[in-house]
């Protein structure tokens, strides 16, 4: 049996400290330090590829963790922009792209996110806007969103029509990409949903008739064959156009 002195000496001996696991970067550094040769060049190439995959995986993890933090901070966005009828009464409230951007951009930046938009292709009367959400860690995500387009408001230029569709696309891509919750007196986020309600269709048809506007041109502008086929995403655009006409009548 060990004496008390032997036991005490054993206790005082330094314990083995667990060494951290060697990373791919560590192994790559060792190969470089020893020098690249014909014998280890294949292993070097494999380590480089593994290192790239490791960097990509870590960037994806950082993106996911930051996105969860962002989701905890994003508020429910209340539509506060009122749209009046021709009598000045507020018909509904909504949040447009500028309203939403002013709220979410600072929160995104606080969590090391930035976003940008670009135009995609045009197919079957729809234009696609693509939002790129990028994290400072290097990973990014693309969110496409399509909206129907027409020929633009009567007497408008093609750039004006394209600009309106682009703004709707930006709003939809942002809402989808950031999983936003937007609340208003009416659901204004139906960018690529169904047609307007029967009441909205009747209202638009009646207003166009009272303004002596040609129905065929109005419907063509909105990309619809009949008033009941007008996309819900186009209602706000049509309402604003008619409201301006009504104010100058």
pLDDT, residue 189, reads 37
Same domain, yes or no: 167 and 132: yes
Instruction: Tell me if 3 is assigned to some domain.
Output: no
CA 249, CA 246: separation in Å to the nearest integer? Answer: 5
Instruction: Tell me if 7 is assigned to some domain.
Output: no
Among 11, 40, 73, identify where a domain stops.
Answer: 73
Instruction: Tell me if 122 is assigned to some domain.
Output: yes
Would you say 106 and 82 are in contact if contact means Cβ atoms under 8 Å apart? no
Instruction: Tell me if 146 is assigned to some domain.
Output: yes
Same domain, yes or no: 32 and 96: no
Among 52, 73, 94, identify where a domain stops.
Answer: 73
Instruction: Tell me if 47 is assigned to some domain.
Output: yes
In this structure, the chain runs to a length of: 249
Q: What is the pLDDT of residues 110-161, one digit of tens each?
A: 999 999 999 887 777 778 899 999 999 999 999 998 887 654 444 455 555 5
Instruction: Tell me if 48 is assigned to some domain.
Output: yes
Helix crossing, 41-73 with 97-110: angle to 10°? 120
pLDDT, residue 187, reads 39
Same domain, yes or no: 119 and 62: no
Strands 90-94 and 81-84: antiparallel
pTM more than 0.75: no
In which band, very low, low, confident or very high, does the pLDDT at 190 lie, cut at 50, 70 and 90? very low
Same domain, yes or no: 165 and 227: yes
Count the domains in the chain: 2
Instruction: Tell me if 15 is assigned to some domain.
Output: no
Would you say 147 and 169 are in contact if contact means Cβ atoms under 8 Å apart? yes
Same domain, yes or no: 120 and 218: yes
Ramachandran sector of residue 35 (left: φ over 0; alpha: ψ -120 to 50; beta: rest): left
Same domain, yes or no: 63 and 112: no
Q: Which residues contact 48 (CB under 8 A, 6 or more apart)?
A: 28
In which band, very low, low, confident or very high, does the pLDDT at 183 lie, cut at 50, 70 and 90? confident
Range of the domain at 136: 77-248
Same domain, yes or no: 137 and 117: yes
Same domain, yes or no: 113 and 190: yes
Instruction: Tell me if 4 is assigned to some domain.
Output: no
Q: What is the pLDDT of residues 55-81, one digit of tens each?
A: 899 999 999 999 999 999 999 988 777
Among 29, 50, 73, identify where a domain stops.
Answer: 73
Same domain, yes or no: 92 and 198: yes
Torsion of CA 114, 115, 116, 122, to 10 degrees: 160
Same domain, yes or no: 67 and 177: no
Strands 77-78 and 81-84: unpaired
């Amino acid at each position: 049996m060990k004496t008390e002195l032997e036991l005490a000496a054993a206790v005082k001996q330094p314990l083995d400290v667990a060494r951290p696991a060697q990373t791919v970067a560590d192994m790559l550094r060792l190969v470089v330090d020893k020098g690249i040769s014909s014998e280890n060049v294949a292993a070097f190439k494999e380590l480089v590829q593994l290192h790239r995959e490791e960097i990509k995986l870590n960037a994806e993890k950082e993106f996911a963790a930051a996105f969860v933090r962002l989701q905890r901070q994003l508020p429910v966005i209340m539509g506060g922009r009122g749209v009046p009828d021709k009598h000045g009464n507020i018909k509904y409230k909504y949040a447009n792209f500028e309203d939403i951007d002013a709220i979410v951009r600072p929160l995104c930046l606080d969590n090391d996110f930035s976003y940008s938009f670009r135009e995609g292709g045009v197919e079957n009367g729809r234009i696609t806007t693509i939002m790129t959400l990028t994290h400072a860690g290097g990973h990014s995500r693309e969110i496409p969103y399509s909206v129907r387009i027409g020929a633009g408001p009567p007497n408008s230029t093609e750039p004006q029509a394209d600009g309106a569709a682009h703004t709707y696309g930006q709003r939809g891509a942002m809402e989808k990409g950031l999983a936003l919750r937007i609340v208003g007196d009416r659901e204004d986020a139906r960018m690529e949903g169904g047609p307007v309600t029967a009441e909205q269709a009747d209202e638009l048809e009646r207003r166009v008739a009272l303004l002596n506007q040609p129905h065929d041109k109005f419907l063509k502008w909105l990309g619809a064959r009949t008033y009941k086929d007008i996309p819900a995403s186009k209602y706000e655009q049509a309402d604003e156009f008619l409201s301006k006409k009504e104010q100058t009548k």
